[in-house]
Amino acid sequence: MPGRDWVRPASTIAAGVLAGAALGKVGPVSAQVGRAFGLSPFALGATISLITLVAAVLAAPAGQWLRDRDPRPWLAAGLAVMAVAGGAMILAPPSRAALICLRAVEGAGYLLIVVGGPAVLVQQVSATRARAALALWGVCTPAGLAVSAAAGGLAASRAGWQDWFAALAAACAVLAGVVLVLPAASAGAPRRRNPLTGAGSRSRRRCCWHAASARCR
C-alpha cells in the first residue's frame, strides 16, 4: 500500500474499534447510567446487551443484502448512526424507554460496521494482504472493548457518563466525515470489484462472513 493508501484500511480498522467501544461503553459507567435513568438490574442488563442482540438477529439478512452492493457507504452510515444515537442519549430527557430505544438504534449502526467492514477492508488492500487484513479486523472488538473499559472507567471516576458518551459520539462523527471524504481508490488505480461477487468470490465471502459473524456473537 504505497503512499497514503494505508489511510483507507486504517479508517476501516478505526471504525471497527469504535464499534467495539460502543459495544462496551455502558459497562464501565453502568452504576451512573442506572441511577440517571432509574434502571432496574434487568433493564440495565438489557441496555448493555441490546446492541449485540440487534446485530445477532439482523446480521444474516444484512449480509445477504450487502452481497450485490458496494459496502463502503455502510461504514460512514454506521458511524453516523452511532454518533447520533450516542449524542441523543445525553441530550434526551432521562427516560428508560428512550435509552433502550436509542441503544437499539446504536445497535443498527454497530451492525452496519461489523457486517460491511470486512468487505470494505478486502477491497482496500491487495489480494495478498487480504487474509492479514481480516485477521487485523478480528482485533477490533477486543481493542474497542479495552478502550471502552479504560476510557469509561476514567470517566466514571473523574468526569461522568455524559462526558464518555459525548467523546465516543464525537469520535464516531469525526471518523464518519473522514470515511466520506476519502477517495474510493488511488488516483489512476482501477476500481476493484466487490470481493463478495463475481468469479472466485466464494472463499472471500466465507472469510468476510466469518469475520463479521464472529463480531456479532
123-165 pLDDT, tens digit each? 888 888 888 899 999 999 999 999 999 999 998 888 889 999 9
Q: CA 52 → CA 11, 55, 57, 120, 197, distances in Å?
A: 23, 5, 9, 21, 27
Q: Would you tell me the crossing angle of helices 7-23 and 72-91 to the nearest 10 degrees?
A: 40
Q: Answer whether residue 2 shows pLDDT above 90.
A: no
7-185+193-215 has CATH 1.20.1250.20 classification: yes
List the single range of 14-23, 28-37, 118-127 with lowest mean pLDDT. Answer: 118-127
Of the candidates 168, 51, 154, the residue with the CA atom closest to the CA atom of residue 101: 51
Listed by start position, the domains of the chain span 7-185+193-215
Task: Give the pLDDT confidence score for residue 123 in this predicted structure.
Answer: 86
pLDDT in tens, 181-210: 887 654 444 444 444 444 444 444 454 444
pLDDT in tens, 85-110: 999 999 988 889 999 999 999 999 99
Indicate the pTM of the whole model: 0.82
